[in-house]
Amino acid sequence: MPQIEPRGPDEAFASARAGEASGFAALVRLHQALVHGIALRMLMDRALAEDLSQEVFLQMYRSLHSIESHEHLAFWLRRVTAHRAIDRLRQERRTETTALEEAAGVFAASLGDDPMLRKHLAGLIGQLAPMARAVLLLRYQEDLDPVEIARTLGIPVNTVKSHLKRSLSLLRRQLSGMASINP
C-alpha cells in the first residue's frame, strides 16, 4: 500500500512517530535548512556541516519516541545541532580562512559588501570560543532571544547575556580598530 505524503508539520510528525518513512522524510525536508544552517555557521565547513546534519537526523529518528510534538522537535533539533557542533569544534579547533569568510556573510550583511571587512570579521568570529560562537549564531542567525538560547543550550540566561556582551564588544573593538587603520 503506497504511503501518502503528509500535508503539514504536525501530520508529518505524527506520521514519522508511527514509523512511516514518508513522515520522516517530510520532517527532514522541513528542518534540513535549520539544521544545516546552524551546522554550517558553527563549523564553517560544508562537508562537516553535511555530516553533522546527517548525524542529527539519525539521532532524531532514534529519538522520535521521546519528542513530544513538532514544536518540541524544532527546539530539540536546535539544541542537538548546536551541542554536536560545539563538541566537534572542541575536538578539532578548526580555523580555515576560506570557510570563515563564507560563514561571516550572516554577520557582515549589515556592514556592507566589503570583502576585506567580511574576511576580517570571519576571522574574528572563528576565534570565538565554541559556546560564544553558538550563542552569537543562535541570536543573530536564528533570531532567538536570550531566554530561548539559554533553554536551547542548557545554560543560564545570564551566561547567554555575558557571552553576547563580551563577543559583541570584542567584535566592535576589533572592527573599530580596523576602521581607524583604513583611510
Are 118 and 175 members of one domain? yes
The pLDDT of residue 161 is above 70? yes
Are 16 and 83 members of one domain? yes
Is residue 91 very low, low, confident or very high in pLDDT (cuts 50, 70, 90)? confident
Are 85 and 109 members of one domain? no
Domain final residue pick, 49, 65, 94: 94
Are 52 and 62 members of one domain? yes
When pLDDT is averaged across residues 43-47 and rounded to a whole number, the result is 88
| Single pTM value for the model | 0.65
Number of domains in the chain: 2
| Higher-scoring residue by pLDDT: 178, 110 | 178
Angular region, 44: left φ>0, alpha ψ -120 to 50, beta rest? left
Are 80 and 14 members of one domain? yes
* Nearest CA-CA partner of 48 in 101, 87, 15: 87
| Higher-scoring residue by pLDDT: 3, 156 | 156
The pLDDT tens digits for 66-86 are: 999 989 999 999 999 999 999
Is residue 41 very low, low, confident or very high in pLDDT (cuts 50, 70, 90)? confident
Here the CATH number for the domain that contains residue 1 is: 1.10.1740.10
Are 7 and 90 members of one domain? yes
Give the distance between the most distant pair of CA atoms in the chain: 70
Are 151 and 161 members of one domain? yes
Q: Average pLDDT of the chain?
A: 82
Residue 138's domain comprises 95-183
Can you state the angle between helices 21-43 and 130-140, rounded to 10 degrees?
120
Q: What pLDDT does residue 111 have?
A: 54
Q: What pLDDT does residue 154 have?
A: 92
